[in-house]
Amino acid sequence: MTTEAPRGALTGIRVVEMGQLIAGPFCGQLLGDLGADVVKVESPGVGDPMRQWGQTTSEGDSLTWPVIARNKRSITLDLRVDAGQDVARRLLDQSDILVENFRPGTLERWNLSPERLWQTNPGLIIVRVTGFGQTGPYAPRAGYGSIGEAMGGLRYLTGEPDRPPSRAGISIGDSLAGTYAALGALAALHARTVTGRGQIVDSAIYEAVLAMMEAAVTEWDTLGHQRERTGAILPKIAPSNVYPTEDAASILIAANQDTVFRRLAASMGRPELGVDPRYATHHARGERQEELDELIESWSKGYAADELLELLHAGGVPAGRVYRTEDMVADEHFAARNAIIRTRNTAGQEFAMQNVAPQLSATPGAVRWAGPGLGEHTDEVLTELGYDAVEIEKLHDGAIA
């Protein structure tokens, strides 16, 4: 007797993704990871530009695409023509969530305005991801994740204090907007169980970044304090930094809580530091942050990385290597939790990628397949919508070709 695999929490929910690049599609990825049927609508013959972006295989295939488009079915549809719009409306009449990240007004030009869609499917949730939101003076502007990171405050605080603002090595602004979009979609799904009606989820990239800025606005408003770039540290949070080892590794040690600092002092063989008035309290350590970092660095350099980590972990001190991707792939804890998995697309190509997060105990998400070929599921989806073979053939002559 075999046991059926648990179904994802969003099994039975259909999502139509009309976005491209990262912000909207990352929302679709998250919903698909949790079990939703995500139907990705792409332009015939062209598709999402992410099919060509980033590192590529020797055949020229993007290695970003298998991740951002995993668990999705691809259909091609020309939304600029009446026949394509008719298909889109029929699809949306049988769907729960629409995700799009075009400039405000684009859906309306395609005769797919929320008001029109709600006439036939009042429960449809419409997720709109843009640089600046659907309202306000900046709404019509083009907006990429990098602009949202800049205007949301993240770029100003990223990097070393003696250099211009830097960036993270990933498109974090886009991904944050997609994450908040998915959160909003799930909240709207719950609200629909009460009201029976859908609503608009308006996720702006700059606001998603702003939401992560902790107390920066409050500090400015109350104290006139402007946070500045501080490199590897947060001012007054000590010790929490990257420290060198004898074998030239980099170990991050975070012992900024009073009790944890006492454990670090004990691990260093200098328990007296934990009760020394110069270091015993959070405020005192913050005032002597540089001095304390130098003290810990002089100690850490006397150990090889593995030896240092073993000592710190035994003492209950949070610490870890600064991992590169190859370290993640080789790590036993990552393996034990299946944090990195291998999956295939329908062409049989195999890819390693990060697994679904977070992990749900009863209805876990899953990576069911890697990114699909352009239009791979067009006929399949059209058949599900009730089109017969003759109608599908006619659509191939224009709307989906």
Which residue numbers are catalytic? Answer: 174
Nearest Cα to 16, choosing from 381, 356, 379, 365? 381
3-state secondary structure of 191: helix
Query: Beta strand 14-17 with 97-100: parallel, antiparallel or unpaired?
Result: parallel
Contact 180, 199 (CB under 8 A): no
- What letter does residue 157 receive in the DSSP assignment? G
**Six-digit token string for 282:** 């959070």
Cα separation of 345 and 125, whole Å?
29
Instruction: Give the integer Cα–Cα distance in Å for 110 and 61.
Output: 31
Burial class (CB in 10 A: 0-12, 13-18, 19+), 74: buried
Three-class SS of residue 73?
A: strand
- CA dist 155 and 264 (Å) reads 33
Q: What sign does the dihedral 261-265-271-276 (CA atoms) show?
A: negative
- For 16, the token pair is 């139509």
Question: Helix, strand or coil for residue 118?
Answer: helix
> What is the per-residue DSSP string for 260-325?
HHHHHHHHTT-GGGGT-TTTSSHHHHHHTHHHHHHHHHHHHTTS-HHHHHHHHHHTT--EEE---H
Helix, strand, or coil here: 114? helix
